[in-house]
Chain A
Amino acid sequence: MSKIISIHSFRGGTGKSNTTANLAALLAMDGFRVGIVDTDIQSPGIHVIFGMDDSDMKHSLNDYLWGKCDIKDAAHDVTGKLGADVKGQLFLIPSSIKAGEIARILREGYDVGLLTDGFRDLVDKLELDYLLIDTHPGLNEETLLSMAISQALIIIMRPDSQDYQGTAVTVDIARKLDVPNMLMVVNKTPQAFELEDVRERVEKSFNCEVVSVIPHSEEMMVLASSELFVVRYPDDPVTKEFRIIVDKIKA
């Protein structure tokens, strides 16, 4: 059975999209068929990491939500971005980056139920092993819905006080929605922090396992979403942490 996995962070700037893209890349490199859906309709961004811009998008998630196309038609094969000899396949369903189309979604609203139907349809038609949902930060009905239908939820936070507060809310909600697997990831940990201390503090705060504490990475910042980190730096400690998360997903 394929797995639907939501990636969420309560606040922005946690590196959610970069983490999603890199986890998906590693899964595809391991030979799996993987899909990513960008449900951050109000500020799409993950397509950039795969080197896409407006002109590369035949169809977007928005077109599907308006009934202009099948969800499958909005899937773009981005396997080529992972380098040579990739056994698996990676698809991205981007959100539109036309200001007018974003404004239109705001004005007209859309059928959230279509999203879930679309996710399940994608899994079937593209024969996916994993579908990763890059959610909108914070909480709204769409995010709750993504969580509700996921077999696993990856929660990404930074170790700062606002994130602690907000993440507690997300954890509480995930528990109420009976999400079967909750994977906590601490990202962008400042150099001055002891990684193990951070892990302990987070585990204590939320009473759940922390899968990975990722140190702040200057390489990642300099890369600035222009490429996939795991492709460029296969032996970096950050890539090793991504691997640990991927192993957890596969388990």
Chain B
Amino acid sequence: MQFSKSGPPKKDDRLGNYMWELEHRPQSKILPSDVLKFSDPLRAVLNQAARIGRISLSEVSKLLDLPPEQAQRVIDLIVEKDFLRRPSSLGDNPVYETRLAVRTRKLNDELPKEILNKLDDL
């Protein structure tokens, strides 16, 4: 990624800051608890997407105060982080569905076998 090498971008580079945050905050997927850590306009985008279930390019562009082509790059990165789903047809103002496919932690093999065995026949 082009932003990760050079460290945090300058303050006035809005796009750069959004991209940097998205690349660095959660290591892989964005979980609900990760959303809390984002700074404001970016968090508002994730919150709105979660609450309404979808978000459009123009909405992201407005919330982040970025021209559409830059907002698109932010969206692409959020898609990569598995929080938004790419629509089947793009069009002028594509709408992205929110994907909150987070699994809870599995317990397999963490509890001693003899405990699990006793639970198995329940």
Contacts and interface: CB of A to CB of B under 8 A. Distances in A.
A144 B43 contact: no
Given A98-B122, A108-B108, A148 B50 contact: yes
Nearest to A119: B53
Interface in B89-113: 99-108, 111
Interface residues of B, number: 27
A151 interface: yes
Contacts of A100: 119, 121-122
Given A109-B105, A141-B104, A151-B51, A103 B32 contact: no
Given A141-B31, A144-B32, A111 B101 contact: yes
A220 B121 CA distance: 38
Contact of B104 (A110, A173, A178, A180): A110
A177 B47 CA distance: 6
Chain B, interface SS category: loop
Nearest to A111: B103
Nearest to A176: B36
A113 B102 contact: yes
A107 B108 contact: yes
A168 interface: no
B35 interface: yes
A107 B32 contact: no
Contacts of B31: 141
Interface string B7-41: 00000000000000000000000011101100000
Contacts of B79: none
B31 to A, nearest CB: 6
Contacts of B33: 141, 144
A25 to B, nearest CB: 26
Nearest to A173: B36
B17 to A, nearest CB: 18
B119 A103 contact: yes
A121 to B, nearest CB: 11
B66 interface: no
Q: Which of B48, B106, B116 has the most CB of A within 10 A?
A: B106
B41 to A, nearest CB: 11
12 contacts: A100-B121, A106-B107, A107-B111, A110-B104, A111-B101, A111-B103, A150-B51, A176-B43, A177-B36, A177-B47, A178-B47, A178-B51
The 8 closest A-B pairs by CB, nearest first: A100-B122, A113-B101, A144-B32, A109-B106, A148-B50, A109-B104, A178-B47, A113-B100
Given A148-B35, A173-B36, A177-B35, 17 more contacts: A98-B122, A101-B122, A103-B122, A107-B111, A107-B119, A108-B107, A108-B108, A113-B102, A120-B53, A141-B33, A141-B102, A141-B104, A145-B102, A148-B51, A149-B53, A151-B51, A176-B36
Interface of A: 98-101, 103, 105-114, 116, 120, 141-142, 144-145, 148-151, 173, 176-178, 180
Interface of B: 31-33, 35-36, 43-44, 47-48, 50-51, 53, 99-108, 111, 116, 119, 121-122
